[in-house]
């Protein structure tokens, strides 16, 4: 079996993510008469293609019947979208993430250059950045083919397979992350906004002032929805409100940790702060971190530093080498 029936016309296709700690993507399908909806796709890799093709074939869904709905622009969700959308159909994504998708689509060097500027200013060694640039799946496995996109707005309602999906903008994990809510069924496709046995990566973006603040605001907003069955993009499901509370508490602890680190060692850059934070990863130490995971860790440290800086709890100054240093105010 390549699919799992979740609810009425809703199915899950497990899509492997080789070499990724998430292990697999939960791609979801809402099967309709003559037109079906595929929610997220996987990396632009053969293993992902094969799993997705097998799942859609098992459900009897042809490419020409397929419209694609993306929770967000990351390559493990959007990478295969242009290959699987039916001719004349749309790939739907939030308007905010459509802009970001263009930056990292492989057609545009601007996104990669912006990331490089951001991480150089964070103190990331440039030799390590050059290595990451050639191997980072966020860039190397992103969608590259032209396709027809439809931009979604917060509050928009879509109908597929007799089900109504309410589009809910939940920025944080990406600037335009969306969740999709089936109110009558109390079911929600949470994307990477709420994951149940791993914390979503909240990174800094060159053009977003406070991505962690956006994420925490989005968590508090989503807590107000009645969700009996949350369907995350990775791994298992769980109790929605309890998990939201746990994620908020997690980031509050991380913020306290960053403040403690800067009290003990004022003037650190983000790379150095990340090296002193605690991470759930098997490694002898910061120097031995896998480079891609180090990149994610520094991005997460930056988002916590931005949060504290925006609220006046820490100050940021530019050092002589163009690297930002942080201290308690």
pLDDT tens-digit map of 112-159: 677 789 999 999 999 988 888 766 666 667 776 667 899 999 999 999
Pick the CATH number of 4-249 from 3.30.460.80, 3.10.20.70, 3.60.15.10, 3.30.1540.20: 3.60.15.10
- Residue 63's pLDDT is 93
Give the max Cα distance, the chain: 63
Q: CA–CA separation, 225 vs 222, rounded Å?
A: 6
Q: Which position has the token pair 């791609």?
A: 27
Sequence-separated (6 or more) residues with CB below 8 Å from residue 152: 92, 93, 94, 95, 167, 178
- Residue 144's pLDDT is 67
Cα dihedral sign, 323-217-262-296: negative
pLDDT tens-digit map of 237-256: 999 999 999 999 999 999 99
The 229-232 sheet, strands edge to edge: 157-160, 163-169, 178-182, 187-191, 229-232
pTM: 0.95
The residue ranges of every structural domain in the chain are 4-249
Classify residue 53 as exposed, middle or buried by CB count within 10 Å of its CB (0-12, 13-18, 19+).
Answer: middle
pLDDT tens-digit map of 60-94: 999 999 999 999 999 999 999 999 999 889 999 99
């Amino acid at each position: 079996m390549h699919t799992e029936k979740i609810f009425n016309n809703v199915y899950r296709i497990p899509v492997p993510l080789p070499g990724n700690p998430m292990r697999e993507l939960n791609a979801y399908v809402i099967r309709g008469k003559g037109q079906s909806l595929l929610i997220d796709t996987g990396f632009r890799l053969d293993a992902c293609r094969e799993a997705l093709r097998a799942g859609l074939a098992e459900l009897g869904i042809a490419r020409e019947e397929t419209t694609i709905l993306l929770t967000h622009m990351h390559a493990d969700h959007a990478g295969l979208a242009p290959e699987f959308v039916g001719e004349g159909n749309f790939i739907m994504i939030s308007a905010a993430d459509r802009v970001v998708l263009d930056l990292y689509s492989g057609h545009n060097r601007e996104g990669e250059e912006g990331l490089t500027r951001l991480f150089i200013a964070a103190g990331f060694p440039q030799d390590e950045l050059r290595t990451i640039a050639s191997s980072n799946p966020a860039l190397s496995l992103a969608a590259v083919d032209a396709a027809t996109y439809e931009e979604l707005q917060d509050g928009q309602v879509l109908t597929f397979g007799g089900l109504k999906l309410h589009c809910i903008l939940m920025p944080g994990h990406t600037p335009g992350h969306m969740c999709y809510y089936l109110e009558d069924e109390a079911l929600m496709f949470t994307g990477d906004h709420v994951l149940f046995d791993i914390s979503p990566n909240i990174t800094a973006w060159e053009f977003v002032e406070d991505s962690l603040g956006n994420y925490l605001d989005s968590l508090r907003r989503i807590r107000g929805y009645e969700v009996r069955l949350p369907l995350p993009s990775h791994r298992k499901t769980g109790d929605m409100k309890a998990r939201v509370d746990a994620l908020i508490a997690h980031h509050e602890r991380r913020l306290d940790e960053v403040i403690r680190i800067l009290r003990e060692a004022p003037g650190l850059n983000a790379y150095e702060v990340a090296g002193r934070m605690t991470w759930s990863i098997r490694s002898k130490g910061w120097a031995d971190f896998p480079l891609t995971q180090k990149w994610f860790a520094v991005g997460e440290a930056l988002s916590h530093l931005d949060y504290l800086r925006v609220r006046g709890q820490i100050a940021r100054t530019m050092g002589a080498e163009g690297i930002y240093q942080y201290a308690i105010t």
